[in-house]
Amino acid sequence: MATSATSSAALRAAFAGLIDYAGLFPPAQLGMEAALAEYAGARRGPHAWMLARFIVPESRLGELLQSAPAPVPLSVIAGTADDSRTWFAAVQSSLQRVAAHKASGVAIEALELPLPPPLSQRETYDAAIGQYSAALAQSGLSDLSSYIELPQHERRNALLPGALASMKRHHLRAKLRCGGVTASSIPTVYDIATFLRAAAEEDVALKATAGLHHPVRGYNEESGFVMHGFLNVLTAAALVRQGAGADSVIAALEDEDAGHFALDPGGLRWRETLIGADALRDTRTNRFHSYGSCSFSEPVDDLTALGLLA
């Protein structure tokens, strides 16, 4: 647990700008005005330093601009198509609209993009990633951080190394989905560990999304199934950075005992392992940038209850 002597450096290295606010999305699924009000309230609060961007679909940018009382830093999810054959044209059109908004002064700081599933057993993600990179350049948006999400399907882990290598070639980042509204949509700890290790091998940074409602993994009464914890994922990413083996990374991801995690002047401790403030800062800068949450108050309240925040 944290104490009054807890190092501010370690605390901020772990949690500064950690949360991208996703109040428009399930399970919160607030209306635009309500979500913007929640975000504005969080930006005025004592833990605003933990808050990063407001996540919005490109299709709702016009609605947001009608409601936002002040400039809001945005991460925009580009529009796509369900049909892989029309996906690229949809992405091109969406990016052109994003570019027009950005040129008019809208504070768009990052992009997020879901890739379509492969059409055949022989297809990889290289073509789609290359097409997206070309569309970024064509739209003048290559300077933005772009996080690429791979679809869930049976060949995902097999295609993961090649996809991450392609992201690296095109200077893109990865997006890791950690949950959903059903138990079947939640990846295993093995899947998450595989993703973290593969991304580190290719030196590709990532953000996480979905399911990380609480700091520590555990059973969620509302959903009725076990959900991953964002502190578990952060710890696992830091362990990967330190060269820990697969067993340790998986153990950190599946640990459901909040008493095994602590912040003190030395840094973040998990069981007997210390992750110093500098290592945490490097993990957040080069490995695990942020995660999307439909609530800001919930993770803050949980961290406070655990004694990790004052």
Checking DSSP bridges between strand 261-264 and strand 225-227, what pairing results, if any? unpaired
> Which ranges constitute the DSSP H helices of 72-153?
84-103, 126-139
Whole-number Cα distances in Å, 126 to 78, 121, 129, 161, 287: 18, 14, 5, 11, 22
Q: Which CATH superfamily is domain 8-300 in?
A: Aldolase class I (3.20.20.70)
203: exposed, middle or buried (Cβ count in 10 Å: 0-12, 13-18, 19+): exposed
Residue 213's closest CA among 121, 123, 298? 298
**How high is the pLDDT of residue 5?**
41
Residue 290's closest CA among 52, 18, 73, 75? 18
pLDDT in tens, 69-79: 778 999 999 99
Find out whether 253 and 232 touch, Cβ atoms under 8 Å.
yes
On the question of pLDDT at 222 being above 90, the answer is no
Parse the chain into domains and list their residue ranges.
Answer: 8-300
From first CA to last CA, the distance across the chain in angstroms is 11
Find out whether 81 and 89 touch, Cβ atoms under 8 Å.
yes
On the question of pLDDT at 223 being above 80, the answer is no
pLDDT in tens, 225-269: 899 999 999 999 999 999 999 999 999 999 999 999 999 888 999
On the question of pLDDT at 3 being above 50, the answer is no
For residue 220 the two structure tokens come to 């969620």
**How high is the pLDDT of residue 1?**
44
**How high is the pLDDT of residue 270?**
96
222: exposed, middle or buried (Cβ count in 10 Å: 0-12, 13-18, 19+): exposed
pLDDT in tens, 26-81: 888 999 999 999 999 999 999 999 999 999 999 999 999 999 777 899 999 999 88
Residue 211, Ramachandran bin (φ over 0: left; ψ between -120 and 50: alpha; else beta): left
Please report, as a single letter, which amino acid is at residue 240.
Answer: V
What is the residue-averaged pLDDT of the chain? 92
Residue with tokens 């295993």: 188
Average pLDDT rounded to a whole number, residues 187-202: 96
On the question of pLDDT at 2 being above 70, the answer is no
Q: What share of the chain is helix, strand, coil (3-state, %, to 5)?
A: 45, 20, 35
Find out whether 29 and 35 touch, Cβ atoms under 8 Å.
no
**pLDDT bracket for residue 7 (50, 70, 90):** low
Average pLDDT rounded to a whole number, residues 154-180: 93
- Least trusted range by pLDDT, from 78-82, 100-104, 105-109: 78-82
Find out whether 193 and 245 touch, Cβ atoms under 8 Å.
no
CA–CA dist 98, 38 (Å, integer)? 24
- What angle separates helix 230-241 from helix 189-202, to the nearest 10 degrees? 40
